[in-house]
A and B are shown apart, each in its own frame.
Chain A
Amino acid sequence: MSGRNIGEVILDLNNISLSFGGVKALTDISFNVREHEIRAIIGPNGAGKSSMLNVINGVYRPQHGEIILRGEHFANMNSYKAAKAGLARTFQNIALFKGMSVLDNIMTGRNLKMKANILQQAFWLGPAQREELEHRLKVEEIIDFLEIQHIRKIPVGRLPYGLQKRVDLARALAMEPQILLLDEPMAGMNVEEKQDMCRFILDVNDQFGTTVVLIEHDMGVVMDISDRVVVLDYGKKIGDGTPDEVRANPDVISAYLGASH
């Protein structure tokens, strides 16, 4: 991972606690993400990884703690603010718009950047038409980048799982995010698909300079591609550091392999 200059802290999470009724999903978690790095969140099932992502982009609102994004404090993060601030994400169990074509799915990612009002759109007047064309060009770049040209007109519901995951990534990339949150991008994929996906994530990070926060279960992948790793277990942070540090951390080993009694 040389050649990339990892910058300042861009996203800072301080003392995040989240509970649903009596269930504590996250307890007092703090960590930060630096610009241009690939940051992994790992942990056993139910550790609170997805909840963590949901807190970051405002789907869940934590009871305690604060999110600082590029020096700006977000007390009440919500999805809209998060999207405006340049956060994009993909979902663990694909959340594509099933009735729409691949192209339309990716075009929705451009939504925040489209400004034509409803009347201009109804009459397909100059601004609406120009905008549609302009964003189509951007979307086509992403389609080329992710090598999904052949399926652009197909409704996503008909695509195989691996390709759907890729379209999900494409839709997130269409937002031109500064931080990309990936929730298990490689779950359920075969080896080749995983390799492709790894290549795409590294390329996104490398070419666009996008900061990536990802959750992944495949330890080989995590240790290979990420710069720093956070380990969660039962909603608590038990480890944080480079892959090598985390691998040597006794708490992490006991969480994954069980403590020796």
Chain B
Amino acid sequence: MFYRENGQFKTSYQADQQIFPIPQDRWVILGIVAFAFFGIPLLVDEYLFRAILIPFLILSLAALGVNILVGYCGQITLGAGAFMAVGAYAAYNFLIRVSGMPMLGAILLGGITAALVGIVFGIPSLRVRGLYLAVATLAAQFFWDWAFLRVKWFTNDASSGSVSVANLQLFNWSIESPTDKYLFCLGILVVLGLMAKNLVRGSIGRQWMAIRDMDVAATVIGIRPLYAKLSAFAVSSFYVGVAGGLWGFVHLGSWEPAAFSIDRSFQLLFMVIIGGMGSIVGSFFGAAFIVILPIFLNQMLPLVGGLFGLEVSIALVSHVEIMIFGALIIFFLIVEPHGIARLWSTAREKLRLWPFPH
């Protein structure tokens, strides 16, 4: 069956407004989701879950949040790590201070707290834009780094400064094994990913993009920059905050403020830039690129060296890994500044004509 839409005529605007108007796309995506839920747990070992798949899922969620703000609303942020931290610590505090608080509730409340904090730190966006805004959001990063390190209340007066969460439970499902953790993260990601897609195809998403593309024209149409920008900050921070909660609760288990340092903010921003700004699927590509590629290189380099009869030491692998990784980032940005998502859509357009280009 070729990938094409000839002969598929839509008879209602409803059919035209679906998320995947082309049936082939719909089936492929459903297939991938089904495989992720049912196939992968059968095929994959614990190491892969722990080292690759769970971080990939959680960071995809965070990248999705950053993409809403940076890619859809055009507001650059360097504070994503801080909002992850706010989500994680808020969720932790809700969990230990409110008796009987379920784990999922704590994570969602952590996300909502991050959204509120995001609104506060989004206020400068009403006055400044571009790089200046990036610097203003950097303030969020430094402030929260400091707060979680110094204000003992946030860490429940833990003497080491590190907090931990154990016995994760969702209703009666005890989330212990890596497979359970993976499924839990995947479930949240699928739901929130679908919601993000709905938001960006609806009127609020159009408001964000209008502000991004031409703010004067947007205000003339009656879009209020205050509402559009702050709602983008809120939604974005919610996603990032939930991802932070998952990162702390599910992936790390116990963590310190350093887990959400400025490196994390940069990493998330790079995911969005490399994956594709203003593209939901681009967030996933970006996260995959940044999470999986280094590990892949790490595993492949000794094998490639072996082919040429070279002994590759571990130190050399880690150096070469960084070099290749950096070169690939530059390569991608030169070849396709719009990110992997654009390569993907170009490929799809080609595929629609293949193998009969006329």
Contact = CB atoms under 8 A, between A and B. Distances in A.
A111 B214 contact: no
A136 interface: yes
B220 A121 contact: no
Contact of B220 (A59, A97, A116, A140): A59
Contacts of A109: 221
Contacts of B195: 122-123
B4 interface: no
Given A97-B209, A111-B207, A132-B17, A121 B202 contact: yes
B199 interface: yes
A67 interface: no
A99 interface: yes
Contact of B223 (A98, A99, A108, A128): A108
Given A132-B17, A133-B13, A96 B217 contact: yes
Query: Which range holds the interface residue count of chain A?
Result: 35 or more
A194 B118 CA distance: 48
B13 A136 contact: yes
Interface residues of B, number: 28
B13 A108 contact: no
Given A114-B203, A124-B198, A98 B216 contact: no
B218 interface: yes
Given A112-B222, A118-B204, A97 B198 contact: no
B222 A79 contact: yes
Interface string A186-227: 000000000000000000000000000000000000000000
A246 B137 CA distance: 56
A171 B219 CA distance: 13
B206 A99 contact: no
Nearest to A181: B220
Contacts, number: 98
Contacts of A95: 214, 216-217
A137 B224 CA distance: 25
Interface string A75-99: 0000110111000110100011111
A41 interface: no
Contacts of A111: 203, 206-207, 210, 221-223
Contacts of B210: 97, 100, 108, 111
A50 interface: no
A146 interface: no
Given A132-B17, A133-B14, A99 B220 contact: no
A231 interface: no
Interface in A98-146: 98-100, 104, 107-112, 114, 116, 118, 121-124, 128, 131-133, 136-137, 140
Contact of B202 (A84, A91, A128, A137): A128
B122 interface: no
B213 interface: yes
Contact of B219 (A80, A98, A110, A124): A80
B250 interface: no
A59 to B, nearest CB: 7
B72 to A, nearest CB: 9
A38 interface: no
Nearest to A115: B203
Contact of A96 (B207, B214, B220): B214
A98 B214 contact: yes
Contacts of B13: 133, 136-137, 140
A108 B214 contact: no
B206 A80 contact: no
11 contacts: A88-B221, A96-B214, A99-B278, A100-B213, A108-B206, A110-B203, A111-B222, A116-B202, A121-B203, A124-B202, A128-B198
Interface of B: 13-14, 17, 195, 198-199, 202-204, 206-207, 209-210, 212-214, 216-224, 231, 235, 278
Given A59-B219, A109-B221, A111-B221, 6 more contacts: A88-B220, A108-B206, A122-B195, A122-B198, A132-B17, A136-B13
The 9 A-B residue pairs whose C-beta atoms are closest, nearest first, are: A83-B222, A95-B217, A97-B213, A121-B202, A112-B222, A79-B219, A122-B195, A114-B203, A124-B198
